[in-house]
Amino acid sequence: MYALVFLCLYGIASARQVYFHGRPNPHVGKELPEVSMNVSQMIAYNGYPVENHDVTTDDGYILSIQHIPYGRHDKCKDVPSKPIVFLQHGLLCSSSNWVANLPNESFAFILADQCFDVWLGNMRGNTYGKRHVKYSVHSDEFWDFSFDEMAKYDLPAMINYVTKVTGQPTLYYAGHSQGTMIGFIEYGRNPELIKKVKAFYALAPVSTVTYMKGALKYLSYFTPELEEFFKIFGNRDFLPSNEILRILSKLLCGHEVVRDVCSDILFLIAGLDTKQLNETRLPIYISHTPAGTSVKNLIHFAQLHRSGKFQMYDYGSEEKNQKHYGQGTPPEYDVSSVAVPTALYWGGNDDLADPKDVKSLMKKLPHQMYNKFIPEWNHLDFIWALDSAPLVYDDVIRHIRSKDMEDMS
């Protein structure tokens, strides 16, 4: 059974490599321009100014983050001291998530047109986080990380960079999926970082994943064997975005007959809500997501499901954990220590941030401002849904403006 699963996984990886050298049929479909663009090109294509900034973490990873200083047609360009909103993507994703839809549907564009100073973060190991001051992206050392390190190093590095460059002492933080997870970790233990975050908007919030469903749940059944398998075959990154994914999106996802096939791939992890899926944008979603992460990070998620705890990476033995943590078991993260005012937006059809896990999280959060439940939504609806602007983004903006007014009074 295990061997069959591993052979399937290896076969998929091999197929990607084979088709990487192929070429899409120029007569099939009409490509959406953003399919072949990087995130900065996507932003510029839609008429927005964009800056790229390199942020180096304390442990040497170089993260490329994007800045949208104002809206289209110079809207809000001359507005002084615009509030900063920092957007952080989720698991297997990148900053492209926030600009993958039309300008009136994408959170980053909506914020820029509403006179916010918008910054888009990226995590180590994704499309825009594959550089290190010392290690090659082809080395084991480069890929030796999980969300533990993203919270400890990546998040503080990016937020500290933004506040330093802008000269503003504080910002608003909105995260999706894993982007909420690292917030729940670091905003509960990093006093200096906490001072810089005025409010935390958690979209599809993740801490424990005890009740998760979908592909990641089934992956957890094979965690020890999967770890050994990838060690043997030398695979260090998991589902990177590359040319084969772009080719597949061009060949397949642009056609009505197979759009459901492409959407099913997304829903394997996220849950099902086809009513909210903009099928015409599928080629863009598929070409930019998944954007990659480490095998260790996926194994860490699987460990959380098996343990039922929100804890650091388990190195597999008391001796190894003792070496890393000074104790035989991984330390647990304490969400009851989260000191940033927090709002949660969660869905009833979310296979990763299951409602039972979210309800458990809400009971522990000490500074919860409010929460908004959308019964029909899945995990990806919070970044791509047709109604994401009226149901979530506009709501976040109203609360930010209200909080700004309170702070000034």
Does 182 have pLDDT greater than 90?
yes
Q: Which amino acid is at 244?
A: I
Active site residue 40: no
pLDDT at 104: 97
Going from the C-alpha of 11 to that of each of 4, 20, 142, 143, the distances in angstroms are 10, 14, 24, 22
CB 158, CB 121: distance < 8 Å: yes
Categorize the per-residue pLDDT at 272 as very low, low, confident or very high, splitting at 50, 70 and 90: low
pLDDT in tens, 131-168: 999 999 999 899 999 999 999 999 999 999 999 999 99
pLDDT in tens, 49-72: 999 999 999 999 999 999 999 999
pLDDT at 186: 98
- Give the start-to-end residue ranges of the domains of the chain: 36-408
Catalytic residue chosen out of the listed positions 154, 350, 357, 381 = 350
pLDDT in tens, 300-350: 999 999 999 999 999 989 999 999 999 999 999 999 999 999 999 999 999
Q: Which residues contact 41 (CB under 8 A, 6 or more apart)?
A: 34
pLDDT in tens, 27-48: 334 679 999 999 999 999 999 9
CA-based nearest residue to 249, from 211, 278, 282? 282
On whether the 36-408 domain is CATH 1.10.10.10, my answer is no
pTM: 0.88
Catalytic residue chosen out of the listed positions 95, 177, 207, 287 = 177
Euclidean distance between CA atoms 144 and 124, whole angstroms: 11
Does 75 have pLDDT greater than 50?
yes
Catalytic residue chosen out of the listed positions 89, 176, 305, 379 = 379
Active site residue 350: yes
Give me the mean pLDDT over the 215-231 stretch.
66
Categorize the per-residue pLDDT at 19 as very low, low, confident or very high, splitting at 50, 70 and 90: very low
Q: Which residues contact 290 (CB under 8 A, 6 or more apart)?
A: 92, 93, 239, 240, 241, 245
pLDDT at 201: 98
Does 255 have pLDDT greater than 70?
no
